[in-house]
Amino acid sequence: MKKTLLLLCLLSLFTQCDTNHSKGLRTNFTISNNGTENTEKTGPKLMVGIVVDQMRYDYLVTFYNKYGKGGFKRLMREGYHLKNVHFNYIPTYTAVGHASIYTGTVPANHGIIGNDWYDKSLQKEIYCVDDARYQTVGAKTGGEKSPHRMVTTTVTDQLKLAQNMRGKIIGISLKDRAAILPVGHTADAAYWFPGKDHGGFVTSTFYREQLPQWVLDFNASDKANTYLSQRWETLYDIDSYTETLPDNNPYETAFKGKDSPTFPYDLAQLRKDNDNFDLLKNTPFGNSIVTDFSLAAIHGENLGKTEATDFLSISYSSTDYIGHEFGVSSKELEDTYIRLDKELARLLESLDREVGQDNYTVFLTADHAVSHVPSYLQSLKIPAGYVNKEAFAAALNRIMKTHFNSTELIENVSNYQIFLNKKKIRALGLDQHKVAQTIVDEIIQYKDVYKAVTAHTLQNTHFDRGILQILQNGYNQKRSGDVLLVPYPGTTPFYALTGTTHGSGYNYDTHVPLIFYGAGVGKGHSNHYYSITDIAPTLSRILDITYPNGCTGRPIAEVLN
């Protein structure tokens, strides 16, 4: 009986090893001449990270019947689909999302606390990837960038280190921050589309001194002008777009030069009033040119063709621009996702041909989700609203005047945070912690503020659940403000009455898709909760490399074969 069980176990082990090998897993077992066990490292030749900017999880469900078989449905059907993945920090912005996905940790550690934030030492607003030490490559301006403000490594950095700097790491997006931050500090290149009067992709001297020939050829092909020479009409009959609101509704923002936010859009006519090539970003064709450029990169850089593993990071940004402009329930957004589905199919088909279906691994997620337009929610009697910036500033001034007889104690208000004027506080002989706590005690009475907490409290108290826990995860002692605020659910701080935005820690901003597909990945789905910081360690396990140096996430074991 024992011999039979042992034989069955051995048979199961070797069957599993053979199956794993056929699917491109990293370890094959062999027996040497002296009878000892050796391991041979295998794995994906190319890792492809896809981040869809501002994609809510429910877009997979809402538009499911409009998708073809080769895009989202292929990934869901043949990959591992995680249905309950959330961002575990505040604020949920683009730069923060991309940094957290690839570092496997939260802003408290990686240091990217916003797209822009107030620098306490410089006493001015700064942008997350600006770096005056470098120049633009490929245009006159738009490339003075680097990832230097992200203080931890990414999974892409660790892949470079693990391979003794072999393998190519390339980032692509319309947005500079979405191209730069995912590929970390050791990337071969990051390329983005500055827009305005430039219709091609650029990079920074942080990466290289000149564009490679394949990029020059791509820019010379004038694809951006081609896309902007057409009309944007719905791909299918607009009457079939029953998942969204009527085309002409009061919750959308119209393009400049057009009376209403309605189809069709004559792009050649609209571009002169909408910053020329910037208009491309606000159409689905911005995603198309990113796919075009990504395919050119795969071919031009021979990605997935050497013994080393390459990594291509792709971020689709037009979904974010269109979401901000038209909102969650717009015909424009629905058409954008239907078209994005076809872009994903085109990308996967090209990977099959160029790299081989068993030789690459893909993951798809989002950098944040988004709220419904608050005025639309109000029309349905769902609690929602807007914070009036001037009224809020006036309330803060009244608090300062009443308690400290000064209106000069606040230096900056941004990103749900209040920065105190420490120099003025010291000059008046005040205690900065008392000033901050007074603001918290008083501003909590303000109609739009749901929670408020001082930096001192976040440094000395551990919150293990709820909204204050994810607020604490986003608090960076060196860079964040002295008072942090949380608005009511459905409340948009300092925003227009049409279109929508994101940034909160509520489910509508935190719940995003996550699908792994390809070599090293099983098939299935899960409703278990995972945080966005679990992606990087999962990729590290697929690649069999060390986690990023600040990583706090855990690998998702059920994804792995």
Residue 28: how many CB atoms within 10 A of its CB?
14
For residue 316, list its beta bridge partners. 52
What is the DSSP code string of 300-355? HTTTT-SSSPEEEEEEE-HHHHHHHHH-TT-HHHHHHHHHHHHHHHHHHHHHHHHT
DSSP state of 547: P
Residue 540: how many CB atoms within 10 A of its CB?
21
Helix (H, G, I), strand (E, B) or coil at 205: coil
Q: Count how many Cα atoms sit within 13 Å of the Cα of residue 159 in the half-sphere of its side chain.
A: 32
Burial of 295 (0-12, 13-18, 19+ CB in 10 A): middle
Phi, psi of 525 (to 5 degrees): -150, 165
Name residue 266's amino acid. D
Helix (H, G, I), strand (E, B) or coil at 108: helix
Sign for the pseudo-dihedral over CA of 270, 274, 279, 283 = negative
276 vs 340: CA distance, rounded Å: 22
Residue 477: how many CB atoms within 10 A of its CB?
9
Q: Which of 351, 299, 254, 293 is nearest to 174 (CA)?
A: 293
Q: Which of 537, 538, 531 is nearest to 517 (CA)?
A: 538
Q: Which of 222, 210, 199 is nearest to 136 (CA)?
A: 210
DSSP state of 253: P
Pairing between β-strand 360-366 and β-strand 511-518 as defined by DSSP bridges: antiparallel
203 vs 179: CA distance, rounded Å: 10
75 vs 118: CA distance, rounded Å: 40
Instruction: Give the tokens for residue 539.
Output: 């990729």
The verdict on whether 94 is a catalytic residue reads: yes
544 vs 92: CA distance, rounded Å: 29
For residue 361, list its beta bridge partners. 47, 518
Identify the active-site residue in 94, 105, 291, 552.
Answer: 94
50 vs 340: CA distance, rounded Å: 12
Q: Which of 545, 543, 532, 529 is nearest to 48 (CA)?
A: 543
What is the DSSP code string of 364-402? EEES---PPPHHHHHHTT-S-EEE-HHHHHHHHHHHHHH
For residue 524, list its beta bridge partners. 80
Residues marked as catalytic: 94
